[in-house]
Structure 1
Amino acid sequence: MDDDLNVTYITLSGHVEVHQYRYLYFVIMLTAYFLIICFNSTIVFLIMIHKNLHEPMYIFIAALLINSILYSTNIYPKLLFDFLSRIQIITHSLCFFQAYVCYTLACSEFLLLAVMAYDRYVSICKPLQYPTIMRKTVVNTLLVLAWLVPVCEFAVLGAFYASVKLCSFTLKGIFCNNSIYSLQCGRSAAISIFGVFVLLNIALFPVLFILFTYTRILIVSYQSSKTFRRKAAQTCLPHLLVLINFTCFITYDAVVVRLESDFPKIIRLIMALQMIMYHPLFNPIIYGLKMKEISKHVKRLLFQVKSH
């Protein structure tokens, strides 16, 4: 706590041998951030410039990849600065803002994946009604809701948290996440109850909805021809892989971090780095390789780059 400036500082204690390996950490993370921006931006750019990709499925993919860019930009600049700093600290207000943006975007990802599952369900199970159901206004509305609902719900949660007193000023992590609640003097019943409501509303229910829609798709595909099953698998498999990957990391963050399990510091660091590196890099690679139309444009772009 800085009494002169009335600023509360929080120490980020999750770094391992940062003074010894700071430049190695910095180069690795800067490279990862650069690749995340390049890979995700390239797919978004291809979707924007090619008219045959101006379909709801590809628009939702672009939104998901923009989400990854925003998520990484919320974490990486501060992390890179910390690697080169003598001490790793952050103000309480900035820490709270970082956690707020982190979880708002994470929950937006669940909602976007749910919207994508609905899009695939209508396309495969109700193909004749698809153009009338997935109109441009519907697509835009779903996109706005996927981002706006988490923003509003976490804003309410933030209002509850604003009045909470801190008794600890050391965070077991390298960025501000769920463990920020461990700094409180006591558990707030209002925060806990509303937190469970938010978790159910924009994480668990979307996952259950996704599982339901893909079960329906699986049933319809099983009853159809081999060609139809192959086409359904090509469009649905990337979404399922992204969902499984993302759910695993969010489960770790929501359960293990919140329970403050006594994991070794190095394990915590490795898991934290995987959360912010693996998933944002995984999304564009999966969609770039597994989605036939996107893959076609990626290969064409790479060929043009090589020819120059």
Structure 2
Amino acid sequence: MMTMNSTQVSSFTFGAYVDVGLFKYLCFMIMMCFYVVIVFTNVLLIVVICMNRSLHEPMYLFLCSLCVNELFGSTGLFPFLLVQILSDFHTVYAPLCFLQIFCLYTYANVQFYNLAAMSYDRYLAICYPLQYNIQMSLNKVTMLIAVSWLIPVLNIVVMISLTASLQLCGEIIDRVFCDNYSIVKLSCYDTTVNNIYGLMYTFIVLFALAIIIFYSYVRILRVCFCGSKQTRQKAVSTCTPHLASLLNFFFGCFFEIIQSRLDMNRAPIMLRNFLSLYFLTFQPLFNPFMYGLNLTKIRIICKSLVFGQM
């Protein structure tokens, strides 16, 4: 094999693609439709939020960051996936593979940070409504969004640097896209440093975010049970889309853990591919509809833009 800097392979081969004949064109059309819908709905929400000053509030600014991230993650997956579906040779050059890993893992991490920030925002809005505008200032919102992007990017750069330095003895990735853990498993030597770094980041950072989300919703539920009917209605109307997005996110994470960490060799290949793609396709597909349908301001403005009526 050719030598490429710190790795022994110059390209990787995807082992999860199967020859389905003409059915690949149907798969291509389905994935293309998913991508078009994701781009259209997320761009629509971004335009609506940016062009309407009445939506320049913390909740909608966080939503805008969420939509930008979903466009980023989808663009890191779908064009690559569409090419691979139609191709007869499912290989990718190593630099492009690591670039895709950077995009997809950054997307997943930023998504979690954004959802945690949105949970904190809803907690302040419902539990401390009188101090909300002071507590959630524009500077604080900007800082939270910046942190939601900066820390994941730095983490993924370190993670990819550790993976790229490994000496690999194989080149087959048992996925339909590039996956960091799949490459780490190809290492000829000890991967303790990679494993320790991954565990430290998971338990120190991601576990802390999970605690923030859990604490925020415990406090919100307490206020709902003890508060007035108006307070409960406000909590339900503003928290429903976010809570649905969180549940969908955790379902995707659960499927990803099953696919990555458990032995799925006996499972049908289509089921394995579905589990691995669920998080990257259904999250950006699901969120714009959930927020667009449940947040009244956005729903009214979207209808006026699309149908030309109020």
Shorter-chain TM range is: over 0.9
Q: 79, 82, 88: which one pairs with 2:81?
A: 79
1:222-233 alignment, distance < 5 Å: 222-233=225-236
Q: 169, 172, 175: which one pairs with 1:170?
A: 172
Deviation at 1:158, TM superposition (A): 2.1
Deviation at 1:217, TM superposition (A): 0.8
**2 CA distance for matches of 1:180 and 1:65?**
29
> Does residue 215 of the first structure (1) align with residue 218 of the second (2)?
yes
Deviation at 1:8, TM superposition (A): 1.4
**1 CA distance for matches of 2:183 and 2:304?**
46
Question: Match for residue 110 of structure 2?
Answer: 108
Question: Match for residue 266 of structure 1?
Answer: 270
Deviation at 1:257, TM superposition (A): 1.2
Deviation at 1:251, TM superposition (A): 2.4
Question: Match for residue 197 of structure 2?
Answer: 194
Residues 287 and 171 of structure 1, relative CA distance in 2, 3 Å threshold: same
TM-score (norm 1): 0.93
**2 CA distance for matches of 1:159 and 1:171?**
18
Question: Match for residue 31 of structure 1?
Answer: 33
Deviation at 1:258, TM superposition (A): 3.1
1:60-79 alignment, distance < 5 Å: 60-79=62-81
Question: Match for residue 295 of structure 1?
Answer: 299
CA RMSD of aligned residues (A): 2.1
Question: Match for residue 142 of structure 1?
Answer: 144
Q: Which range is displaced more, 1-10 or 256-265?
A: 1-10
Q: Which range is displaced more, 110-119 or 75-84?
A: 75-84
**2 CA distance for matches of 1:298 and 1:7?**
48
Whether the aligned pair in 1 keeps the contact of 2:100 and 2:178 (CA below 8 Å) is yes
Residues 256 and 185 of structure 1, relative CA distance in 2, 3 Å threshold: same
Question: Match for residue 10 of structure 2?
Answer: 8
Deviation at 1:260, TM superposition (A): 4.1
Deviation at 1:272, TM superposition (A): 2.9
DSSP-derived class of the 1:164 partner? coil
Look up the equivalent residue of 1:172 and give its one-letter code.
D
Q: 262, 280, 285: which one pairs with 2:284?
A: 280
**2 CA distance for matches of 1:106 and 1:20?**
32
> Does residue 179 of the first structure (1) align with residue 182 of the second (2)?
yes
**2 CA distance for matches of 1:4 and 1:59?**
42
Q: Which range is displaced more, 245-254 or 28-37?
A: 245-254
Question: Match for residue 237 of structure 2?
Answer: 234
Deviation at 1:152, TM superposition (A): 0.9
Aligned residues: 306
**2 CA distance for matches of 1:179 and 1:240?**
31
Deviation at 1:279, TM superposition (A): 1.5
Q: 202, 207, 213: which one pairs with 1:204?
A: 207
Consecutive unaligned residues of structure 1, counting only runs of 5 or more, are none
Whether the aligned pair in 1 keeps the contact of 2:9 and 2:171 (CA below 8 Å) is no
Residues 260 and 97 of structure 1, relative CA distance in 2, 3 Å threshold: farther
Deviation at 1:202, TM superposition (A): 3.7
* Alignment deviations for residues 212-246 of structure 1 (CA, whole Å, 9 cap, x no partner): 10110110121111121011111111111101111
DSSP-derived class of the 2:92 partner? strand
1:151-166 alignment, distance < 5 Å: 151-166=153-168
**1 CA distance for matches of 2:278 and 2:158?**
29
Consecutive unaligned residues of structure 2, counting only runs of 5 or more, are none
Whether the aligned pair in 2 keeps the contact of 1:82 and 1:88 (CA below 8 Å) is yes
TM-score (norm 2): 0.92
**1 CA distance for matches of 2:189 and 2:287?**
38
Question: Match for residue 56 of structure 1?
Answer: 58
Deviation at 1:112, TM superposition (A): 0.6
Whether the aligned pair in 2 keeps the contact of 1:150 and 1:202 (CA below 8 Å) is no
Whether the aligned pair in 2 keeps the contact of 1:18 and 1:83 (CA below 8 Å) is no
Question: Match for residue 256 of structure 2?
Answer: 253
